[in-house]
Chain A
């Protein structure tokens, strides 16, 4: 069976160059990088090199990079670590309703621990209102955490401006840049952020490695205590191969960004346009321009997204209904709900996220196979037949 992968926001394949770079650290250079003897030297050198690669990618100094196990750990570290570090200064945190669960659930946890959290809403295009943000700030506000690009819709937040506001008010600003990495320029100075999370496996490095940028002088209480690894900020013997992979992936992302973004954007647009032409009553969720170039989130009226995904899977097409972390849950996507999309419509939404190894044939395979599935499923939907009769679509489209 043909296999087509359109779920790069969930994870990406390991780039062959990344694999080549990291394999020696599983085979030959297996030493502990903290050891003073010969066995530790190569792994130590490799980690230092990787740290430089990541620092270059983010436009910061290597000492400002802490390696972690994942994007989720980076988010937890940034948010809990700041909350604990600044507890005496205040107890208010501002975030948004559309963050990744790694941020949202960390904030909910902190609420139980006595912090107050403001969850800013978004408009129909999925973006926040900066005036509302400014109004939410109080003297107690110690942290703002807002994502750079949304994992479900790809919508980009105005991080630079958010960062500027935070800096003016002396509030620590963290951004989850897991989905932006490799797709948008990541210059921490321009972005005005104090903390920034990235994840390896979203940028063609392996799973199990991430990084947190911590601006020099910003204090973050560690999550994991133990040895003196990562300059006392994150204990645990380093995942050397993973770190080397992440470094290499950052180098490749920087090197290939311009060409890859153009390639992926043209495929994404072809996919999006094709589906909208071939299938009636398809809506784009999220801002059409202000979004990362690889993502399209489409609503298919009167079809259940879950069944649609299983049908696609049976044809070898991988897509998703939102974040992989919430799959298996029929709760309407919290992102689409926050955008004001009614649950019955958000249920029929599917996210296609493309990557550098996708081809035109992949897109054509989808364009050929998906319309008949939607048509068949709609023909079985009593709601669809009723709506067609009553001309309900007109009403929906006017909304």
Chain B
């Protein structure tokens, strides 16, 4: 028996809620839990209000569309588990969509999936699970939760590194992890698809869900324009020289090169930062994108919070190859993160997640980049070898 199934079997006959998106991953998570002998209840969360649209079939391709809820129901019927749809439009709109819009308006690039995990799936849904007499919420995330001898939970990346989703889960807490199951953590996507196919699920060939589930066709600009209106403004270089005009700051992301429409013949230019107060888009040369570190806020430590600077492997966006870095916690719950080699396109609003090998130590939200070009920051941090500053401490593996 594969290890993950054994783990699930060790705790027998529990009532488990599976968050079902209609996709192959959460469907297989439900199958594995059912096979392990648990009382499995499938739940789909309706997160986005479709009632305003005249033709409901027009909405597709998002992880919570009506079509996906239909798929999830068919899967639940096929594998023989009860299934309910919970309407969470209001809380989703408040906790995720409002955050998303607000984040863009402050010149950041939000990560709604992390917020949806921490505020919806592992908060509201978990509470719902308790109300329904269940002890666990399971999802189809590729990540692992391991409990050590002392009773502490550890978050590890999924065995299938190409699918690993631990980055989106850094905000899990010890209390929450005691009630969360990731049945796919030990499996590869290929194995998952095989299980789905053998179980006769029609969704076994279904594609991956989109990154931002609540906007159609990936076009979040319409949503932002609707909510906030667009404001044109100036495009300037790092020394303040006017180079052109932008169509609204939220249409751009850090590191973006295309679509800037700068015709001074001295390109290419890249988006380096945004000044929301002056409504200016600041662009620069590729090397001006490089940062030697970042400030992070609202840190969450899954391991014991370190008392001294800590060497980690930091990931500054999903699918970023981790960079060696030193994290120095601040007293306000944030931290200074210094990279051992400069990184491009550090994007405020995205998460920085700290790893040691396959273990997630914790993470936080990127507040701003520390640039080599920023003289003050550079003086403070970059021109000194971070390794000689402070004494790094190491965690011992469990």
Contacts and interface: CB of A to CB of B under 8 A. Distances in A.
Interface of A: 304, 306-307, 310-311, 313-314, 328-330, 376-377, 380
Contacts, number: 31
B85 A311 contact: no
B247 interface: no
A314 B42 CA distance: 13
Interface in B74-121: 82, 84-90
A239 to B, nearest CB: 26
Contact of B131 (A313, A329, A330, A377): A377
B133 A330 contact: no
Interface in B43-98: 46, 51, 82, 84-90
B130 interface: yes
B128 interface: yes
Contact of B87 (A313, A314, A330): A330
A380 B89 contact: no
B89 A311 contact: no
B15 to A, nearest CB: 9
Interface in B260-276: none
B90 A330 contact: yes
4 tightest Cβ-Cβ pairs between the two chains A and B = A330-B87, A307-B131, A328-B85, A329-B87
B69 to A, nearest CB: 9
B128 A307 contact: yes
A328 B46 contact: yes
B119 to A, nearest CB: 16
A376 to B, nearest CB: 8
Given A314-B82, A377-B131, 12 more contacts: A306-B86, A307-B128, A310-B84, A310-B132, A311-B133, A313-B82, A314-B41, A329-B51, A330-B87, A376-B133, A380-B127, A380-B131
B181 to A, nearest CB: 20
Contacts of A313: 82
Contacts of B89: 330
27 contacts: A304-B131, A306-B86, A306-B87, A307-B128, A307-B131, A307-B132, A310-B84, A310-B132, A311-B131, A311-B133, A313-B82, A314-B41, A314-B82, A314-B132, A314-B133, A328-B46, A328-B85, A328-B87, A329-B51, A329-B87, A330-B86, A330-B87, A330-B88, A330-B90, A376-B133, A377-B131, A380-B127
Contacts of B133: 311, 314, 376
A30 B41 CA distance: 43
B54 to A, nearest CB: 11
Contacts of A380: 127, 130-131
A337 to B, nearest CB: 15
A328 B133 CA distance: 20
Interface string B227-251: 0000000000000000000000000
Contact of A311 (B46, B86, B88, B132): B132
B30 to A, nearest CB: 17
> Looking at chain B, what size class is its interface with the partner chain?
10 to 19
A166 B87 CA distance: 41
Nearest to A308: B131
A267 B86 CA distance: 31
A330 B130 CA distance: 19
Nearest to A304: B131
A329 B52 CA distance: 13
Contacts of A310: 84, 132
Nearest to A309: B84
Of the listed residues B51, B127, B130, B132, the one surrounded by the most CB atoms of chain A closer than 10 A to its CB is B132
A73 B15 CA distance: 42
A328 B85 CA distance: 6
A303 B82 CA distance: 22
Of the listed residues B41, B85, B131, the one surrounded by the most CB atoms of chain A closer than 10 A to its CB is B131
Contacts of A376: 133
Of the listed residues B46, B89, B130, B133, the one surrounded by the most CB atoms of chain A closer than 10 A to its CB is B133
A328 B43 CA distance: 12
Nearest to A331: B87
Nearest to A376: B133
A315 to B, nearest CB: 10
A36 B1 CA distance: 69
A118 B86 CA distance: 33
Contacts of B130: 380
Contacts of B87: 306, 328-330
A87 B119 CA distance: 52
A82 to B, nearest CB: 24
A311 B41 CA distance: 12
A381 B373 CA distance: 53
Nearest to A328: B85
Contacts of B90: 330
Nearest to B130: A380
Nearest to B46: A328
A307 B128 CA distance: 7
A374 to B, nearest CB: 11
A330 B90 CA distance: 9
A306 B89 CA distance: 14
A378 B128 CA distance: 13
A330 B89 CA distance: 8
Contacts of B86: 306, 330
Of the listed residues A306, A311, A380, the one surrounded by the most CB atoms of chain B closer than 10 A to its CB is A306
A350 to B, nearest CB: 14
Of the listed residues A306, A307, A311, the one surrounded by the most CB atoms of chain B closer than 10 A to its CB is A307
